[in-house]
Amino acid sequence: MSVFEDVTLEWEGKSKTVPHNDVMRMLAKVEDQLTLHEMQLFRQRGTAPLIRVSMAYACALRHAGFEVSDDEVYKRIMDSSSGDQGQLALTIVSSLQSMMVPPANLDVKQEATSKKPGKGKAVSNSSKKRTEPQSG
């Protein structure tokens, strides 16, 4: 039994799913580019290195079966129609980070957050497929 769920990635309007028993191998490739700790730091400071984020996301996409280069992912971020490349990079970091936390741990963390005074109730994603931000 895997601790992960299937992960669905999207690129250029197409979706591909990484089966739950292959997610850890995909995450190992991602972590060669960005560690979970680094992702947490990037989110805390509100900025992330675009090239490293591009490389990490490209690793995940290639593992899922997309034929995409690091350069293509970087170009897509830079060509972002919103003009806010930094925010898109942080969205990707957030998605990668959520894939790295097993759903059972995510549920425990969200329950603890929802019990703190003044905090809104967290919504569990453990029963939903996780989807990466769409390109373009």
Per residue in 1-58, pLDDT (tens digit) is: 678 999 999 999 999 999 999 999 999 999 999 999 999 999 999 999 999 999 999 9
- What number is the average pLDDT over the span 111-128? 39
Q: How many domains are contained in the chain? A: 1
For residue 123, is it within any domain?
no
Asked whether residue 2 is assigned to any structural domain, the reply reads no
In a domain, 15, yes or no: yes
Which residue segment(s) compose the domain that 35 sits in? 7-107
Residue 129 has pLDDT above 80, yes or no: no
Question: Taking a C-beta distance cutoff of 8 angstroms, is the pair 50, 78 a contact?
Answer: yes
Quick one: tokens of 46? 């509100």
Would residue 126 count as lying in a domain?
no
Residue at 117 is within a domain: no
On whether residue 131 sits in a domain, the answer given is no
pLDDT number for residue 70: 97
